[in-house]
Amino acid sequence: RELEQELRGALERGEFRLVYQPVVTLADRRVTGFEALLRWASPRLGPVGPDRFVPAAEAAGLIGEIGAWVLREACATAAAWRQAHPGAGDLTMAVNLSAAQLTSAGLVEQISVALAESGLPAGALVLEVTETALVRDPEHAAASLAALRALGVRLALDDFGTGYSSLAHLRQFTVDVLKIDRSFVSTMAEGEPMPAIVRGTIDLGRTLGLEVLAEGIEHEHQARLLAEGRCDSAQGYLFARPLERADAEAVLLEQA
């Protein structure tokens, strides 16, 4: 198909880049890390979002090399930022993994290479997986997560609550961070108490000793309520959109 056709060679032609969305602490709104988000500017098709091209790259058998590039680029960037910005010595970098990536044979090797080449400490890399990806092949996924954990990287459960959320999964798939999906945050209305599902998810995460991160914060009242509710950290347009590299660096300079 046309998308797959255009994807072939896109990496070599330099058509991919990463943008970086800040992660902030809710208590004092400091940037503690970034989530790397892949962008593709196709000369023929224009900008295409990862929602469309990641599945196409999987179908075309290209997700392995694209994913490896994302990991190398994100790790190198994080390592450079930690060195250049005195206040960013503990900065984390999160990278999204699709279902096919999670269970691919080369993943552990790709991550080891990205860490070794960049010098980024494993604990600074966060790998985001979705429940949907985990339940596709649960045994294989659990084995992959265990292997990743053994490398010392951190694991985040992305879009939490939108997949086949079950408490059994939280036991079967050990993670470090719970990311509350933005569809739940968007139900937080001004002047209203915390929706029970958000409250319950924060409490569940805390009880399990996980870091709880809320996604898609667009309004000040949401940030305040989540902070009061002891949610640890957040991402969202209220704080920053996904930023081009130079703009992300400016954010780090500002808070140095």
Point out which residues bind ligand G (CB under 6 A).
21, 37-38, 49-51, 54, 70, 96-98, 101, 158-159, 182, 215-218, 235-237, 242
Q: Which is nearer to Na ion, 215 or 249 (CB)?
A: 215
Q: Which is nearer to ligand G, 96 or 144 (CB)?
A: 96
Residues 108-167 contacting Na ion, CB under 5 A: 158-159
232 binds Na ion per the rule CB under 5 A: no
Which residues are CB-contacts of 177 (< 8 A; sequence separation ≥ 6)? Answer: 126, 154, 155, 156, 157, 210, 211, 212, 213
In the complex, residue closest to Na ion by CB = 159
Q: Which is nearer to ligand G, 84 or 197 (CB)?
A: 197
Q: Which is nearer to ligand G, 49 or 152 (CB)?
A: 49
Q: Are 71 and 95 in contact (CB under 8 A)?
A: yes
CB atoms within 10 A of CB 75: 25
Q: Which is nearer to Mn ion, 36 or 88 (CB)?
A: 36
User: In the chain, where do the E strands start and end?
Assistant: 16-25, 31-42, 46-48, 92-96, 125-130, 154-160, 177-180, 211-214, 233-234
Q: Which is nearer to Na ion, 6 or 128 (CB)?
A: 128
Q: How many helices (H) and strands (E) does the chain have?
A: 12, 9
Whole-number Å distance between alpha carbons of 235 and 20: 11
Q: What are the residues binding Mn ion (CB under 5 A)?
A: 96, 128, 158
CB atoms within 10 A of CB 195: 16
Residues 202-231 contacting Na ion, CB under 5 A: 215
| Binding partner at 33 among ligand G, Na ion, Mn ion, none, C-beta below 5 to 8 Å by kind | none
Instruction: Write out the two tokens for 232.
Output: 């640890």
Distance, first Cα to last Cα, the chain: 47
Residue 196: φ, ψ to 5°: -55, -35
Q: Which is nearer to ligand G, 6 or 158 (CB)?
A: 158
Whole-number Å distance between alpha carbons of 47 and 54: 13
Supply the minimum distance, in Å, between the C-beta of residue 128 and Mn ion.
4
| Binding partner at 242 among Mn ion, Na ion, ligand G, none, C-beta below 5 to 8 Å by kind | ligand G
Supply the minimum distance, in Å, between the C-beta of residue 96 and Mn ion.
5
| Binding partner at 154 among Mn ion, ligand G, Na ion, none, C-beta below 5 to 8 Å by kind | none
Supply the minimum distance, in Å, between the C-beta of residue 86 and ligand G.
28
Supply the minimum distance, in Å, between the C-beta of residue 38 and ligand G.
3
| Binding partner at 237 among Mn ion, Na ion, ligand G, none, C-beta below 5 to 8 Å by kind | ligand G
Supply the minimum distance, in Å, between the C-beta of residue 22 and ligand G.
10
Q: Are 106 and 64 in contact (CB under 8 A)?
A: yes
Whole-number Å distance between alpha carbons of 182 and 73: 26
Binding-site ranges for Na ion (CB under 5 A): 158-159, 215
